[in-house]
């Protein structure tokens, strides 16, 4: 089994390896400030309601919703490199500037601009990968790329938590911007040195139809079905865990460990499920399982009333363990979804991936806002029960709403 995995990844094109390694570093840096973002927002505006904290945390996703479909179509027309590098420049500069914010309005402005840049480089990178892979290795390549991206959830919060402890909250934003910009320059030099071994030059067309792509019922169903899944997960990860940790009196670094459990699980799963999907020649079962299982695990947290346990050490251990399992099971979706989107519109893969990603990200946009509202109104445990119901609903939409042709 291990030998087969090593062979699958070692045979991937060099462009995939460069983009994945670069994304690993960028993702770590981009997530430096995630565990402290709700706390940072409350520091610069102490009287802020939790629902506004949720907006501040999720508005980065709005930028991705805006830029992802536009960038996908743009990169199908002109190639991948320019949108990719421009996106990194935008997100690195605005992440740095977020550390200078002295009020919620300017923090939100920098966050939405950062999201626009993030959406640009992420979609362009997946377009690269779709170009240089086939159905036999596409999910493997997507799994590697997404595993590197999710590594940011594992390492970034840890590093960011310690930066915040030893320096201050603002330092996490400064470090994020600097590391991302340096990495972007290195990626550009590496791509130019290796040469762009991609079919992108063959697919440049005078008329790459955005509207024809988004009218594809399969792409629309795939994306809409995944929306409640991402809403439930993001509400749990980006609002509930940091605020719960603060209510327990935990340090920023321990809160970082809570978030990182999801990332570690996601990395392991993504590296395994991608090649498994390629060998099976199927995507839908993995997209389905990546919604159903995390929903069940969230229900276990809510039914067990883990946030209400008075013995904090026991509750912390159980939540970290279950968060790891949520990340592991959710990763079944992460490699299959972009591969399936690309295969549903093979002539315009980045347009398809960009649109699918934009609708998926709407769930990430809604989730923290929903989480802030629910915690304010019904408390932690009841909120987590609602979070769990959302991915389960998504799994049934996936099961009955998407048809897949099997090779």
CATH number at 380 reads 1.20.1250.20
**Mean per-residue pLDDT for 332-354?**
82
- Residue 115 included in any domain: yes
Q: Tell me which DSSP letter residue 320 carries.
A: H
The whole-number pLDDT of residue 401 equals 75
Specify the pTM.
Answer: 0.79
Split at pLDDT 50, 70, 90, the class of 231 is very high
Name all contacts of 107-112 with Cβ < 8 Å and 24+ positions apart. 107/40, 107/41, 107/44, 107/56, 108/55, 108/56, 108/59, 111/56, 111/59, 111/60, 111/63, 112/59, 112/60, 112/62, 112/63
Residue 207: pLDDT over 60: no
- Residue 229 included in any domain: yes
Q: Tell me which DSSP letter residue 307 carries.
A: G
- Residue 289 included in any domain: yes
Q: Which of 26-30, 41-45, 324-328 has the lowest mean pLDDT?
A: 41-45
- Residue 406 included in any domain: no
Token look-up 């009955």 returns: 400
Q: In angstroms, how far is CA 233 from the centroid of its own chain?
A: 11
Rg (CA), the chain: 20
The whole-number pLDDT of residue 387 equals 94
Q: Pick from 332, 29, 393: which is nearest to 179 by CA? A: 29
Tally of domains in the chain: 1
**pLDDT, tens digit (0-9, with 9 covering 90-100), for 233-275:** 989 988 888 887 777 777 777 787 787 788 889 888 988 899 9
Q: Pick from 25, 16, 14: which is nearest to 185 by CA? A: 25
- Residue 20 included in any domain: yes
Range of the domain at 141: 2-401
- Residue 407 included in any domain: no
- Residue 287 included in any domain: yes
- 311: phi then psi, degrees, rounded to nearest 5: -80, 95
Whole-angstrom distance, CA of residue 327 vs CA of residue 358: 21
The whole-number pLDDT of residue 199 equals 43
């Amino acid at each position: 089994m291990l030998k087969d995995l090593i062979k699958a990844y070692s045979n991937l094109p060099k462009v995939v390896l460069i983009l994945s390694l670069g994304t690993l570093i960028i993702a770590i840096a981009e997530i430096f400030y995630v565990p402290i973002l709700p706390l940072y927002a409350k520091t610069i505006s102490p009287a802020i309601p939790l629902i506004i904290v949720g907006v501040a945390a999720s508005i980065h996703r709005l930028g991705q919703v805006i830029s992802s479909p536009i960038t996908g179509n743009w990169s199908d027309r002109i190639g991948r490199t320019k949108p990719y590098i421009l996106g990194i420049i935008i997100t690195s500069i605005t992440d740095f500037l977020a550390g200078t914010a002295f009020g919620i309005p300017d923090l939100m402005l920098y966050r939405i601009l950062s999201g626009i840049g993030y959406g640009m480089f992420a979609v362009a990178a997946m377009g690269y990968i779709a170009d240089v892979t086939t159905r036999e290795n596409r999910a493997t390549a997507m799994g590697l790329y997404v595993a590197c991206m999710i590594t940011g959830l594992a390492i970034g919060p840890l590093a960011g938590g310690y930066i915040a402890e030893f320096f201050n909250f603002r330092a996490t934003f400064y470090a994020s911007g600097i590391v991302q910009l340096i990495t972007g320059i290195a990626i550009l030099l590496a791509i130019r040195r290796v040469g762009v071994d991609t079919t992108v030059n063959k697919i440049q067309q005078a008329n790459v139809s955005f509207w024809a792509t988004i009218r594809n019922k399969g792409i629309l169903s795939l994306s809409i079905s995944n929306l409640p899944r991402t809403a439930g997960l993001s509400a749990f990860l980006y609002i509930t865990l940091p605020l719960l940790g603060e209510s327990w009196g935990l340090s920023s670094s321990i809160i970082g460990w809570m978030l990182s459990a999801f990332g570690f699980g996601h990395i392991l799963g993504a590296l395994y499920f991608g090649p498994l999907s390629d060998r099976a020649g199927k995507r839908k079962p993995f997209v389905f399982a990546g919604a159903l299982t995390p929903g069940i695990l969230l229900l276990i947290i809510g039914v067990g009333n883990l946030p209400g346990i008075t013995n904090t050490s026991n509750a912390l251990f159980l939540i970290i363990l279950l968060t790891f399992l949520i990340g592991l099971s959710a990763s079944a979706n992460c490699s299959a979804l972009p591969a399936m989107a690309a295969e549903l519109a093979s002539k315009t893969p980045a347009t398809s991936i960009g649109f699918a990603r934009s609708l998926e990200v709407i769930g990430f946009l809604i989730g923290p806002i929903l989480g802030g509202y629910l915690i304010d109104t019904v408390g932690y445990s009841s909120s987590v029960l609602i979070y769990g119901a959302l991915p389960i609903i998504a799994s049934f939409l996936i099961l009955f709403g998407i048809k897949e042709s099997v090779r």
